Amino acid sequence: MQIRELAREEWPAQLREIPQQPKKLWIRGALPAAGTKYLAVVGSRALTPYGREACEMLIGGLAGYPVSIVSGLALGADACAHKAALAAGLHTVAIPGSGLDDAAIGPRTNFGLAQDILAAGGALVSEQEPSHRPRLGEFPSRNRIMVGISDAVLVVEAGNKSGTLITARLAGEYNRDLLCIPHRIGDAHAFGSHLFIRLGAALVSDPLHLLEALGIPPREAHSGGEAPRDLEDTELVIWSMLEEPKTRDEILRGAGGAAGDLLTALVALELRGLVKEEFGAWRRI
């Protein structure tokens, strides 16, 4: 896909307001439609299973809303955020530390992910010349663009020496809402999130918290006992079972069929805002 220089009038308005603005921006793909909110997602490259699960759940819950997920195409939290956005059908913007030529995009491990982002209608954006290879010291500079382009910044997890801490501080300097996922007490990966929560960042444990920070009103929940007409067969089976709350094991035992198909259907219902897990049991919303 063609690389072009992004005209200044095409930049998201909030990016034009930051200090130390980039001299140029290059783009492959397309930015989201006007009115879309940008959520930057940052965190450790050594993402824990808990961090991955939380990231996927929160971003998955934004399905159907006008939100673009912004991250840096790095390993760990960045890749998780982009993949979760793609899985939820959300627009996503990757801002790598490299240029945007195929041969330059880094890390090479995520070159396939970059191609998936473009194929899904997302964008790759960089201030570096297209053939520029990434250098370690340039990543903090890249992060200012991630924060600057966004309406809010979500910290998934960060240890006490994580570069994510620098990015989180930029959110305060740029007057962006800083959102943090809480962790278990004593978890080394909780240092950054818990530090910033103590300093006034918003604690986020539900997609509704993200919508609130972005100023997006949630859709009205489906009510009544009538199932939506467009449910797939397996989704309809699960919906019918949930006249009363049930645990996941009860659903798997009672619905019949392959466990993988049932779990996929359950997640699809959750992403549509039709069911929710609460206190260990699934129920209709």
Cis previous bond, 130, omega within 30: no
d(CA 91, CA 269): 20
The whole-number average pLDDT for the span 184-195 is: 88
Q: Write down the pLDDT at residue 182.
A: 93
pLDDT at 221 over 70: no
What single DSSP character describes residue 120? T
Confidence of residue 153 (pLDDT cuts 50, 70, 90): very high
Q: Write down the pLDDT at residue 243.
A: 85
Residue 38 backbone phi and psi in degrees, to 5: -105, 125
Q: Write down the pLDDT at residue 219.
A: 66
Strand partners, 67: 37
List C-alpha distances in Å: 85 to 169, 182, 207. 24, 21, 13
Instruction: Work out the number of other CB atoms within 10 angstroms of the CB of residue 114.
Output: 24
Confidence of residue 272 (pLDDT cuts 50, 70, 90): confident
Strand partners, 177: 152
Average pLDDT, the chain: 90
Listed range (5-9, 43-47, 64-68, 165-169) with the worst mean pLDDT: 165-169
Q: The whole model's pTM is what?
A: 0.77
Confidence of residue 273 (pLDDT cuts 50, 70, 90): confident
pLDDT at 33 over 70: yes
Are residues 48 and 15 in contact, defined by beta-carbon separation less than 8 angstroms? no
The CA R_g of the chain, rounded to the nearest whole Å, is 20
**Domain ranges, ordered by start, for the chain:** 3-214, 233-284
* CATH architecture of the domain with range 233-284: Orthogonal Bundle (1.10)
* CATH architecture of the domain with range 3-214: 3-Layer(aba) Sandwich (3.40)
